[in-house]
Chains A and B, each alone.
Chain A
Amino acid sequence: MTTAEMTAAKGASLSRKEKWSRRGPLLPALIFTIIITQAPFLATIFYSLHSWNLLNPGSWGFTGLSNYADVFTDSEFYTAALNTVIVTVGCVLVALVLGLGLALLLDRPFFGRGVVRTMLITPFLIMPVASALLWKTSMLDPTYGLVDAVLGPIGLGGIDWVGEYPMASVLAALVWRWTPFMMLIILAGLQSQPRDILEAAKMDGASTWQTFRFMTLPFLRRYIQLAGLLGSIYVVNTFDEIFMMTQGGPGIATTNLPFYLYQRVFQGFDVGQAAALGVVVVILTIIVATFALRAIFTAISGKEVSE
Chain B
Amino acid sequence: MKRRAGGTALTIIAWALGILFVFPVFWMVLTSFKQEADAYTDTPTFVFAPTLDQYKLVFDSGLGPYLANSLIATVVSCLLVVAFAVPAAYALSIRPVKGTKDALFFFISTKMLPVVAAIVPIFVAAQQINLLDNVWALVLLYTGMNLPIAVWMMRSFFQEVPAEVLEAAKIDGAGLRTELTKVLLPMVAPGIAATALICAIFAWNEFFFAVNLTAINGPTVPVFLVGFITSEGLYWARLSAAATLAVLPVVIVGWIAQRQLVRGLSMGALK
**B residues within 8 Å of A by Cβ?**
7, 10-11, 13-15, 17-19, 21-25, 27-28, 31, 39-44, 84-85, 87-88, 90-100, 103, 105-125, 140-141, 143-145, 147-148, 151, 158-159, 161-163, 166, 201, 204-205, 207-208, 211-212, 221-222, 225-226, 229, 234, 236, 239-240, 243, 246-247, 250-251, 254-255, 258, 261-263, 265-266, 269-270
Q: A93-120 toward B: CB 8 Å interface, digit per residue (1/0)?
A: 0000000001001101011110111111
User: Which of B19, B147, B250, B263 sits near A119, CB closer than 8 Å?
Assistant: B19
* 5 cross-chain CB contacts under 8 A: A105-B14, A137-B234, A138-B240, A265-B119, A281-B116
Stretch at the interface among A37-45, A160-168, A196-204: A37-45
Chain A residues, Cβ within 8 Å of B116: 237, 239, 257-258, 261-262, 278, 281
Stretch at the interface among A69-77, A123-131, A209-217: A123-131
A226-283 interface with B by 8 A CB criterion:
226-227, 230, 233, 236-237, 239-240, 243-244, 257-258, 261-262, 265-266, 271, 274-275, 278-279, 281-282
**A residues within 8 Å of B by Cβ?**
1-4, 6-8, 11, 14, 19, 22-26, 28-30, 32-33, 35-41, 43-44, 47, 102, 105-106, 108, 110-113, 115-131, 133-135, 137-139, 143-146, 149, 176, 179-181, 184-185, 187-189, 192, 222-223, 226-227, 230, 233, 236-237, 239-240, 243-244, 257-258, 261-262, 265-266, 271, 274-275, 278-279, 281-282, 285-286, 289, 292-293, 296-297, 299-300, 303
Residue contact A119 to B21, C-beta cutoff 8 Å: yes
Residue contact A23 to B91, C-beta cutoff 8 Å: yes
User: Which of B39, B105, B122, B225 sits near A293, CB closer than 8 Å?
Assistant: B105
Residue contact B108 to A126, C-beta cutoff 8 Å: no
Chain B residues, Cβ within 8 Å of A275: 120-121
Chain A residues, Cβ within 8 Å of B99: 23
Chain B residues, Cβ within 8 Å of A145: 44
What is the CA–CA distance of A54 and B67 in the complex, to the nearest angstrom? 32
Residue contact A122 to B250, C-beta cutoff 8 Å: no
Chain B residues, Cβ within 8 Å of A14: 97
Residue contact B17 to A239, C-beta cutoff 8 Å: no
- What residue in chain B is nearest A37 (Cβ atoms)? B110
Q: If A23-B100, A47-B121 touch, does A292 touch B247 (CB 8 Å cutoff)?
A: no
Residue contact A127 to B221, C-beta cutoff 8 Å: yes
Q: If A23-B99, A129-B225, A144-B41 touch, does A111 touch B125 (CB 8 Å cutoff)?
A: no
- What residue in chain A is nearest B239 (Cβ atoms)? A133
Residue contact B121 to A37, C-beta cutoff 8 Å: no
Chain A residues, Cβ within 8 Å of B147: 29, 32-33, 36
Could you tell me the dominant secondary structure of chain A's interface residues? helix
Residue contact A22 to B97, C-beta cutoff 8 Å: yes
Residue contact B121 to A244, C-beta cutoff 8 Å: no
Residue contact A25 to B87, C-beta cutoff 8 Å: yes
Residue contact A226 to B270, C-beta cutoff 8 Å: yes
User: Which of A3, A41, A236, A262 sits near B118, CB closer than 8 Å?
Assistant: A41
Chain B residues, Cβ within 8 Å of A4: 93-94, 96, 159
Q: Nearest Cβ in chain A — how far from B104, in angstroms?
A: 9
User: Which of B91, B98, B258, B269 sits near A230, CB closer than 8 Å?
Assistant: B269
- What residue in chain B is nearest A43 (Cβ atoms)? B121
Chain A residues, Cβ within 8 Å of B39: 144
What is the CA–CA distance of A104 and B122 in the complex, to the nearest angstrom? 44
- Of B11, B13, B14, the most chain A CB neighbours within 10 A belong to B14
Chain A residues, Cβ within 8 Å of B25: 122-123, 126, 134
Chain A residues, Cβ within 8 Å of B148: 33, 37
Chain A residues, Cβ within 8 Å of B96: 4, 7-8, 11, 22
Q: Nearest Cβ in chain B — how far from A10, in angstroms?
A: 9
Residue contact A125 to B114, C-beta cutoff 8 Å: no
- What residue in chain B is nearest A84 (Cβ atoms)? B114
What is the CA–CA distance of A23 and B114 in the complex, to the nearest angstrom? 28
Chain A residues, Cβ within 8 Å of B97: 11, 14, 19, 22-23
User: Which of A22, A44, A138, A262 sits near B31, CB closer than 8 Å?
Assistant: A138
Q: Nearest Cβ in chain B — how far from A254, in angstroms?
A: 16
Chain A residues, Cβ within 8 Å of B143: 32, 36
